[in-house]
A and B are shown apart, each in its own frame.
Chain A
Amino acid sequence: GAGVSQSPRYKVAKRGQDVALRCDPISGHVSLFWYQQALGQGPEFLTYFQNEAQLDKSGLPSDRFFAERPEGSVSTLKIQRTQQEDSAVYLCASSLYPADEQFFGPGTRLTVL
């Protein structure tokens, strides 16, 4: 069956460029999470959606980071004016209900030059 998919898998951006990362959760999953994973570290929570509502964005590192899920399915994480410290793997996860097991996508590796 289809799992969580993310695109692109790899993205190289020049410092100052804007990027958009896409997440397609498992069909019917209510909850969607974004995590950032720096090299050699564990994933760190960025933001959480329940359907189209963004219920928690406490992990977004700056106002350059913006996430949306307008129809309660696909989500986009946008990073404006990228900086080198934004280089990381961005992971998306979805779960059927908020407290259920989270299924992760393969991530998007962002490299900012």
Chain B
Amino acid sequence: GESVGLHLPTLSVQEGDNSIINCAYSNSASDYFIWYKQESGKGPQFIIDIRSNMDKRQGQRVTVLLNKTVKHLSLQIAATQPGDSAVYFCADIPGGKLIFGQGTELSVKP
């Protein structure tokens, strides 16, 4: 069945450094992935998505990389800021319903 998992439950970075959050997936047929940010007491918020016909997609300060060979994707956040502190989820979306991983909690030290 589908599963999406993350490598690390927590990540602590210094303000201004770059952050990299990793995610592995198991379903070779997965063709669309989304990264979400969830702040305490709030629902998940869309950050960026990528389709399987792409290797890389860039947004504002964020980049998602997709390696279909090893079924791995990563979220890179440039110049991490205190406001980036949150839990980050990758999600697969088979048939329209989101399948989330467990999440990585990002802490930004001032």
Contact of B43 among A31, A41, A56, A93 (CB under 8 A): A93
Contact of B100 among A40, A44, A101, A106 (CB under 8 A): A44
Known: A91-B44, A106-B43, A107-B43. A42 touches B97 (CB 8 A): no
Which among B96, B98, B100 has the highest number of chain A CB atoms within 10 Å?
B96
Nearest CB in chain B to that of A109: its residue: B41
Contact of A31 among B89, B96, B100 (CB under 8 A): B96
Cβ < 8 Å to B, chain A residues 31-69? 31, 33, 35, 40-45, 48, 56, 59
Nearest CB in chain B to that of A35: its residue: B98
Number of interface residues of B (CB under 8 A): 17
Tell me whether A2 is interfacial, beta carbon within 8 Å: no
Q: Is the CB of A106 within 8 A of B46?
A: no
Contact of A104 among B43, B96, B103 (CB under 8 A): B43
Work out how many contacts link A and B, with CB atoms closer than 8 A.
48
- Closest Cβ of chain B to A34, distance in Å, is 10
Complex CA distance for A33 and B91, rounded to whole angstroms: 15
- Closest Cβ of chain B to A105, distance in Å, is 5
Nearest CB in chain A to that of B101: its residue: A42
Known: A48-B96, A56-B97. A43 touches B102 (CB 8 A): no
- Closest Cβ of chain A to B36, distance in Å, is 8
Tell me whether B61 is interfacial, beta carbon within 8 Å: no
For B89, the chain A residues whose CB sits under 8 A away are 42-43
Known: A41-B102, A42-B89. A98 touches B43 (CB 8 A): no
Contact of B96 among A40, A43, A44, A99 (CB under 8 A): A99
Tell me whether A4 is interfacial, beta carbon within 8 Å: yes
Which among A42, A45, A103 has the highest number of chain B CB atoms within 10 Å?
A42
- Closest Cβ of chain B to A65, distance in Å, is 16
Contact of B97 among A40, A41, A45, A91 (CB under 8 A): A45
Cβ < 8 Å to A, chain B residues 65-99? 89, 91, 95-99
Q: Which residues of B contact A (CB under 8 A)?
A: 41-46, 89, 91, 95-103
